Chain A
Amino acid sequence: MSEYIIKNGKVYDPKTGIKGDISDVCIKNGKIAEKVSSKAKIIDAKGKTVMAGAVEVHAHVAGPKVNEGRNFRPEDKLFTYQPTGKNTRMAGGFSIPTTFKTGYEYAKMGYTTVMEAAMPPLYARHVHEEIKDTPIIDEGAFPVFGNNWFVFEYLKNDEMDNVCAYISWLLRATRGYAIKIVNPGGSEAWGWGENCATVNDPVPYFDITPAEIVKGLLTANEKMGLPHSIHIHSNNLGNPGNFETTLDTLKIAEGVRPDNKFGREQVLHHTHVQFHSYKGDNWANFESGSKEIADYFNKNKNMTMDLGCVTLDETTTMTADGPFEHHLTSLNHLKWANVDVELETSSGIVPYVYDPNIKVCAIQWCIGLELGLLAKDPMRTFITTDHPNAGPFTRYPRIMKWLMSDKTRQNMLKGFKNSDKVIAATNLASIDRELTMYEIAQMTRAGPARSLGLYNIFGGLAPGMDADVAVFNIDEDRIEDPEDIEKAFSAADCVFKSGTMVVENGEVISNGNKRTLWVDAKIPMNQQVKRDVQMKFLKFYSMNLNNYEVSNHYVPNPYVIEVDN
């Protein structure tokens, strides 16, 4: 394997504490090394920025609903296609790109690890087929647990050992990475066309509340010592006044300490918080609740969040929150796809146009950025768009520009059609913080890697870590035009994935050696759980138990994180 030395770049690396100092980065045998031999290929990064490969903590990039989104939106592909290249397959789509394009676009932006945010266990095989066809980037997927009948029944009966044994089994059966909770209880209620709007709404016929589900799964997660914490999308997403439900959910984690061997410091990750930080009680008096959320978050250090920034594009919303998508289609009258999955979850998809001339959309845009600016700890605050819900992931460079430049933000604010009303309903106009390059590295590299329990391999440039490195043609001290930020982060100068150069001058030159990350929690299946699983498959599933587990050839290049508690 080739050796490389990246010389003279400004390095930003929270892992080693380098904050823009000129420093060399050595790559050898796929890892970051102390030094390299004289044969090493020299990359001159003078006047450029060097960071670890970025880690995506939450995006919908593979699986049944992503693909339904692709297939039911041919118009999303119109005039977006890049033809077959020397090293690349043809690639197209805007808000829901093809798997090939997903891999290429992430890599071009210097992202090297991506987590698929919601995997319905029954469709796990599909998720892995797509992951297999997504080049370059390492990927993992979070199976959803928040509406699972096994979980409901064990938690209701207070059988924590059985919850853990079941979780361990399902992570293995689906080759999954972490416990994802989407609208706990609400997606099951959607099976009857209903919803759980607060943490105390009982789930129909299961005699359990969202709060109990979250608390139970959180306890199980720490008992098992999994690398990632529970990863939650709480109830009541997208509705005015929902910030209170969000706070109620976060409070469940109060006082709980993390218990794991992976260096993870949080017990709860709340995703796309922008969608959960709304005040007001209808769309007319809709306003930002970012202050309340950020204040709570700043005080409680055992949690992390990602932003879910609105990018003001035409996009496709998709979530395992079935009732929300039904609500959305009744608002915008655009096509609506829904899939309820037996015993496990639901999901929905609706295209959405975030029009800057619409007041609500502009307020949403403000809230996402406000959260990023009001949150004091960038190691606990990560940039996402909840791709593709608030916008496609390809807009990350634009979000970085907005977070780093007060001027661009104020110009945007002034340019809105309902500028005065938007400013009145939000806090953004009065926030002048500009994030630094180091903070960006924390929010996109070190922070998410630590939150996922992967900080010993990804998200940093310490010797021994995986050689995922990105070089961007920008110098923090010489930014003349904020547009340069977006330009530089859109197409990296070069990107290494596990020591292989995959991007050069903004073009993909290699498909790398993509891996699938999954967590083997190693808790043996007890007799009770075994019997329950067999019984439920016999009576209520439409598939036989023996056809459920994802076999190894769908995960041809696994990276198994073993948990030994």
Chain B
Amino acid sequence: MTKTITDVICPFCGTLCDDLIVTTDDEGKKIVDVENACAIGAEKFISASNHQHRKTRPRKLQEDGSFKEITYDEAVEYTAQMLVNAKKPSMYGWSSTSCEAQSVGHEIAELCGALVDNTAAVCHGTTLVAVQNVGIPSCTLGEVKNRADRIIFWGCNPAHAHPRHMSRYSIFPRGYFTGKGQKQRKIIVVDPRPTDTAGIADVHLQVEQGYDYELLQALRAAVRGQEISGDIVAGVPKEKVYEAAEMLKSGRFGVIFFGMGVTQSLGKDHNIDAAIMLTSDLNNYTKFSIIAMRGHYNVTGSGQVLGWQFGFPYSVDLSRGFARYNPGETGTIEVLKRKEIDAMFVLGSDPGAHFPMQCVKEISRLPSVAVDPHITPTTEICKVHVPVAFVGVEVGGNCYRMDNVPIEARKVVEPPEGMMTDTEFLKAVLKRVKELRAD
């Protein structure tokens, strides 16, 4: 007999699908089947279940470059000592874990005077900066499904990065006021490449890479009926800009989804700033919203927990006993580049794979701990690797979707024998940190 668990949350991307059906063997130990998930989500469940491939105990890097197995207690001790003894440790990641774990991590950071940062640093951090400059008129994904007749994907490629986004929320679903589904919607894609997402668009504006800001401001001018200089704006003919502006204004409810194409290109927060202001302007003519296509399944949650505990969504510096924030100074990339920190703790992220190599090298130079279920480039260069159970597969916890809607992840199988969850590991570190600081 197998067991079937419904309404399972997918712990991969910020779309946070919550309709997965997972079938396990009768002991609840092995996953047999995953329904409704995209290829990536299914892979996550199946690979978690493949125990042979995983490390199940902490490991410590030796002089010769090899790893030696250590106990969880030893790993807790190393981590606590490292954090307590550092003058300015960084605790980075937090995006592939639950809000409960984040909360414990923050308490450790507060006691140790650490920096706390999540993967927004290399993802939607500049979005958060733009929101701080000009706000963000937004809505939940259900609003998109029920009302939207204009969908813009700007610098994002959901066909690859958020595979079920288009079918669940944005292009295909039929909602309360959108009974005709895709037929009722006009899709615009702005991307320097004719991506697979662009393939299903009504209009593809092939923007010159790195000039989104110019195009966005030109669109804003066009929406206002103002003049634009030059015949071609950022690779797009002027007439097309005016046409696009008309198309946006003529809808009843529009949404701009945007991704790394604007957050990581030249201009960064300015691109998003302009996109938000375009959305804001359009509300003088019709209804418009804008939503960031957040990557990690709980990077949004990390921003929320940091927000209510410290008041800032990422790159929070607690070193002075109070919270400060300025990503250009306190961001993990900056502190690694400038060599401002003296220890590195990573949980729920893989900077080794996703940071520029200069920063990766700096991590490998520092006392460091990586907490990750997988073997990753980060675990490979850190001094200690602590494998833990998979959140959303082997342990539950709260997560926040890209539109900030909280959904509680479910546990579907048991972790391998004797493995800790990240919350348990953090609680043990917190306890030890308190003891060390009391001395």
Using a CB–CB cutoff of 8 Å, the interface residues on chain A facing chain B are 62, 64, 66-68, 70-74, 76-77, 81-84, 89-90, 92-93, 96-100, 122-123, 125-126, 129-130, 133, 149, 190-193, 205, 326, 329-330, 334-343, 346, 349-350, 539-544, 546-547, 551, 554
Q: A335-B133, A338-B137, A543-B407 are in contact. Are A82 and B142 (CB under 8 A)?
A: no
- A326 to B318 alpha-carbon distance, docked (Å): 35
| 29 CB-based A-B contacts, threshold 8 Å | A70-B311, A71-B303, A72-B136, A76-B311, A83-B321, A83-B322, A89-B107, A90-B323, A92-B310, A100-B309, A126-B406, A129-B304, A133-B308, A190-B287, A193-B283, A193-B286, A326-B283, A329-B135, A337-B131, A337-B137, A338-B289, A339-B139, A342-B139, A342-B146, A350-B135, A539-B176, A540-B175, A543-B405, A546-B6
- A66 to B404 alpha-carbon distance, docked (Å): 13
Residues of A with C-beta under 8 A to B177: 205
Residues of A with C-beta under 8 A to B280: 329, 336
B334 within 8 Å of A (CB atoms): no
Given contacts A99-B309, A542-B140, A547-B408, 16 further A-B contacts (CB under 8 A): A68-B307, A72-B136, A74-B325, A76-B311, A89-B309, A90-B110, A93-B311, A122-B140, A123-B404, A123-B406, A129-B398, A149-B176, A192-B253, A329-B135, A341-B143, A346-B139
- A62 to B309 alpha-carbon distance, docked (Å): 11
Q: A81-B323, A123-B404 are in contact. Are A70 and B307 (CB under 8 A)?
A: yes
B287-328 near A? 1/0 per residue, CB < 8 Å: 101000000000000011101111111000010111101100
Name the CB-closest residue of B to A127: B406
B1-32 near A? 1/0 per residue, CB < 8 Å: 00000110100000000110000000000000
- A77 to B7 alpha-carbon distance, docked (Å): 39
Q: What 8 pairs across the A-B complex have the smallest Cβ distances?
A: A342-B142, A81-B322, A335-B135, A542-B142, A83-B321, A340-B139, A193-B287, A338-B137
Residues of A with C-beta under 8 A to B107: 89
B308, A541: Cβ atoms closer than 8 Å: no
A192, B134: Cβ atoms closer than 8 Å: no
Residues of B with C-beta under 8 A to A81: 322-323
A90, B321: Cβ atoms closer than 8 Å: yes
Q: Closest CB of chain A to B436's CB: distance in Å?
A: 16
B252 within 8 Å of A (CB atoms): yes
Residues of A with C-beta under 8 A to B138: 337-340
Q: Closest CB of chain A to B342's CB: distance in Å?
A: 21
Residues of B with C-beta under 8 A to A336: 134-135, 137, 280
Residues of B with C-beta under 8 A to A73: 132
B169 within 8 Å of A (CB atoms): yes
Name the CB-closest residue of B to A554: B398
B307, A90: Cβ atoms closer than 8 Å: no
Name the CB-closest residue of A to B322: A81
Of A62, A70, A129, A342, which contacts B406 at CB under 8 A? A129
In residues 389-419 of chain B, which contact A (Cβ within 8 Å)? 398, 400, 403-408
B59 within 8 Å of A (CB atoms): no
Q: Closest CB of chain B to A507's CB: distance in Å?
A: 17
A71, B312: Cβ atoms closer than 8 Å: yes
Q: Closest CB of chain B to A314's CB: distance in Å?
A: 16
- A149 to B312 alpha-carbon distance, docked (Å): 34
Q: A71-B312, A123-B405, A542-B145 are in contact. Are A341 and B110 (CB under 8 A)?
A: no
Of A130, A349, A542, which contacts B405 at CB under 8 A? A542
Name the residue in B107, B325, B407 with the highest tally of chain A Cβ atoms < 10 Å from its Cβ. B407
B405, A74: Cβ atoms closer than 8 Å: no
Q: Closest CB of chain B to A349's CB: distance in Å?
A: 7
Residues of B with C-beta under 8 A to A191: 143, 147, 253, 287
B311, A71: Cβ atoms closer than 8 Å: yes
Residues of B with C-beta under 8 A to A541: 142
Residues of B with C-beta under 8 A to A122: 140, 142, 405
A67, B309: Cβ atoms closer than 8 Å: no
B91 within 8 Å of A (CB atoms): no
- A543 to B135 alpha-carbon distance, docked (Å): 26
Residues of A with C-beta under 8 A to B132: 71-74, 335
Residues of A with C-beta under 8 A to B307: 67-68, 70-71
A70, B308: Cβ atoms closer than 8 Å: yes
B234 within 8 Å of A (CB atoms): no
